[in-house]
Structure 1
């Protein structure tokens, strides 16, 4: 059975886990929606996703994320008309982190406490500004920026939004969950008419 998608819906507000260190080795189910959920990336025909030029950019930059970031390992992925789904593994650059639930040590149920903030010479504490380096957040921010830049160049709309603000991630904690989410992603086009993000708007 696929996961209950109501648990994974994307909202405008941040859905980051407040006590989770997103730089530590872990696997995540990620969803990113197009701005205003517009059908920007193509259409589903007979249960198959047919990407247009913008959809191909979204796919190319997703796979490029793994090539340019040592800490990023990718698993199942799909571009849909107005959103993308993917599994992202964050692991140390020198770690052997296979994108397979049988070979990857998923994190424990109890979330770790994030790193302490830096302390300046004046004694004041400083919190990180923006996503931490080598984290899930920095990977997604870079991906969204690259896709936005290329699409806006193609359609000659500098500065126009391509993505909805923020994104949703779900920490994958078990091999069973990994299998279910992987299948959910792979079969997403076949269920497009019943998808949470489906609409007739184009």
Structure 2
């Protein structure tokens, strides 16, 4: 039987504790404040559903695995397309594409290409709003580089004002498959990609994209 909603492992413990806590609040309300108990129950249910949707994990496979295609690593909206200097790993100019994940988006991060992880670094930092120009270099973030045998792509998970829990599952030397989960950012934020200059883009600024479904770029 196919479940209507898959919950990511990152949210199961939190949701279990939240459910128990809200159930206790409702029990007290029905016992002590019966006049408003149904209001408390309704608000509790609504709050639980809001948190629940943060951790949904739709089962998405890439339409076709192709080393020349770069799929969206996250759901959200393209907020940056520009040539920018990448100071941490490449230390030269690259084509930057940034996807902003709002609180209502799926928060799973997926490998845009397959290959070998050649770099992985975590950086503590600030919690500026994700669209702030300095969030890419000053916020808490994790940087990963994947080499598909022909080129390298850098991915950067960036925490925001609400998202203060970045999870990254990759390790240097690991072989990864296109479309598999590589991380999770709780309560939304931003993912930056740095591609080779001259890469053909298939997206536009402010376009909404879906992880494993939208083709971001085509490599030469």
TM interval, shorter chain, is under 0.3
Q: Which has the higher contact order (CA 8 A, sep 6+)?
A: 1
Q: Structure 1 or 2: larger helix share?
A: 1
Larger radius of gyration: 2
